[in-house]
Amino acid sequence: MAKLRTAYFCQNCGAQYSQWMGQCKNCGQWNTLVEEIVEKTSSHKTPPFSTKSKQHVINIIEVETSEEPRIKTPSEELNRVLGGGIVLGSVTLIGGEPGIGKSTLLLQLALKMKKKIFYVSGEESASQIKMRADRLTDIQNPNCFLFTETNLEKILQEAKKLEPDFVIIDSIQTLQSQLIESSPGTVSQIRECSNEIIKYAKENNVPVFLVGHITKDGQIAGPKVLEHMVDVVLNFDGDRNHLFRLLRANKNRFGSTSEIGIYEMISQGLKEIKNPSEILITKKFEELSGNSIAVTLEGNRPMLLEIQALVSTAVYGTPQRSSTGFDAKRLNMLLAVLEKRAGFQLGAKDVFLNITGGIKTDDPALDLAVVASILSSNEDIAISEHYCFAGEIGLSGEIRPIAQAEQRITEAEKLGYEKIFISNLNKLPKKKFGIKIEEVSKIEDFHERLF
């Protein structure tokens, strides 16, 4: 007689326990353990391995390699983030905040691709998807087939009958397998459904896109093993109060994870930003203190960002430190370096920092532009709008070299800037640039040349 085997799973991190307890030892959350049926065990045990296996040991030198064929999408930004296109048989997981544009991005992809698309939705009806499709674009893909279903077995059955070139599932948290007796969205259901979908993708060589929900901490909901199972994990984020959306790859088995795609949310859906530098920089009619231009790098794409700083006397006694789009701890470090190494008295002043456009970045090359904006606002002297900055600042006040300096200089030159401040330790090629390169070594030297 078959017996049911159950276990207790943490709904926050996916840890498994043999008995119930109040607190999960793995993540520390309380009352998150739920009993779920794992499998039906039978008295007939299968052998651990088969002697008829065709696999054999092979030397790595003898392994033949070939370039993975890729499907080019109509979105150049998506192609860049994926590493050149969609690999056949790959499974891509895309996560993001509710309403950020995950479904919009994939629906636009389904409508514009000249392939047979199987679009599965467990969250919307067919009429809702059609209304959104009419709003997004006038181009309608006659080979885009909708299926509003949450039963995994029915979805895979229809997919095998339809034989699509591309599958989109929105979302993995709504699917339910009949083999697992638990509600949709639980750890067991997500793991079982993902495993079956990945198996279908690899056996039929069909690329699959999965939409995933995220937790309040910004992590993809469900067991962490889900991110290990899929080939690509994309994160679609951005400030909902701004128009820009950033697409980043947290994991990519077929390309780099340092690339970034930038979109603008408009009434007709998501629009690609070909040259973000021209949009992210404000066209000022007059020069104002506290504004500077930083040359940053996202993957292989150089961008120019506008840094704004406001330094004022602390009214309430305790000075405030606030930053938007820039790491607050790094801002405090830069202020401490300015006070200790360069002698600027900023300890009793409020400092507010902002990267325009809602962009968030952790490139250390922004340090020099941040310091320039703070000094400009503190002394109320405007920086020339033809100057830009790229350099990292160390704890001793030295200006450190940055990666791919030549590419940053070329981008600044292309956009018409006249002078760029960088570290004197950067090794530049012996060629003439159309932009003046100002090499600085310490903050004191930088301050003298800037003002």
Angstrom distance (rounded) from CA 159 to CA 135: 27
Q: What is the mean pLDDT of residues 400-405?
A: 92
pLDDT tens track for 40-90: 544 444 444 444 446 688 898 888 877 778 899 999 999 999 999 999 999
Q: Which residues sit opposite 148 in a β-bridge? A: none
Residue 237, SS3 per DSSP: strand
Give Cα separations from 241 to 31, 173, 267, 269, 283 (angstroms): 34, 27, 14, 16, 21
Q: Which residues sit opposite 211 in a β-bridge? A: 94, 170
Q: What is the mean pLDDT of residues 204-221?
A: 87
Residue 313, SS3 per DSSP: strand
In terms of Cβ atoms closer than 10 Å to its own Cβ (0-12, 13-18, 19+), residue 318 is exposed
Angstrom distance (rounded) from CA 49 to CA 446: 68
Distance of CA 44 to the CA centre of its chain: 47
Residue 338, pLDDT above cutoff 80: yes
**What percentage of the chain carries pLDDT values higher than 90?**
53
Give the least confident one: 113-117, 125-129, 296-300, 360-364. Answer: 296-300
Q: What is the mean pLDDT of residues 167-178?
A: 92
Cβ atoms of 212 and 218 within 8 Å: the answer is no
pLDDT tens track for 258-304: 888 989 888 888 999 888 887 778 766 578 899 999 999 887 788 99
Q: What is the pLDDT of residue 54?
A: 60
Burial 387-397 (b: 16+ CB within 10 A, else e): bbbbbbbeeeb
Q: What is the pLDDT of residue 3?
A: 60
Cβ atoms of 399 and 446 within 8 Å: the answer is yes
Angstrom distance (rounded) from CA 256 to CA 249: 8
Query: Could you tell me which of 271, 224, 278, 282 has the C-alpha nearest to residue 244?
Result: 271
In terms of Cβ atoms closer than 10 Å to its own Cβ (0-12, 13-18, 19+), residue 185 is middle
Q: For residue 283, give both structure tokens.
A: 């066209």
**Mean pLDDT, all residues of the chain:** 87
Cβ atoms of 296 and 363 within 8 Å: the answer is yes
Give the other-Cβ count within 10 Å of 34's Cβ. 16
